[in-house]
Structure 1
């Protein structure tokens, strides 16, 4: 981990404790500025600061820009998840659902597969598709069960058949 990432992580650690939203945004913006305006990771962090502060309308354009600039395999799925969640919170359930379904479909072996499934299930509930939501959530959970994996998988598939 380089110094830039360490300082970003320090701000996020403080953000979960005593630091207020405005200060988080200001600190993240200051550190992000070191990389310039065309750095995908810096834009991702700026988006996350606004998202964390309850400003999804400000976060979404920054996530979009970060994705256009090109994020690595660690941060790209996080940006998709976080942006889709913000979009869902802004009431555009269809767009959020589309982003998450595409991520789920095109990156089946991604390290954030379960996280994508969780937010996809939330978007499905928001889109009045609770059976599909339950199916997605159960299919994500099934491989982690100590027992009944096959039964839960079958029941989950039955919910959408």
Structure 2
């Protein structure tokens, strides 16, 4: 690419938001880049929700068991690191992708859950969940549920004919 062509492209992109550029690439790119960007957008929407539901169920299941989850051995640190990265750090990276695709706040609710869970792990200074953390995790789960209830009420009041007729 020549410098003149680069300057022409930069002049067109001047003042555009990142999400607008990504949308243009999805619409006009070759089929490989379109499929890749659509896949990344799909993963950015649904992977955090799936991980959040899976983690919430695991916390509920762990709370029903009287024993600790596992005994910590120093030789298992690669496994602990993998679990921590997959469940706690990957969703934090996905929040950056959600900005690129300009996702609505419904798809960003799981990130509040991850911020809360990461804060709990930092507070207790532990990579794995202990019995002491169960009530804190349950309160984060309830808070996230309240966000989804708020979204449901907002959707009902603003998007359905019955909600508009009753309240507006």
TM-score by length of 2: 0.28
The higher relative CO (CA closer than 8 Å, separation ≥ 6) is in 2
* More helix as a share of residues: 2
Bigger-Rg structure (1/2): 2
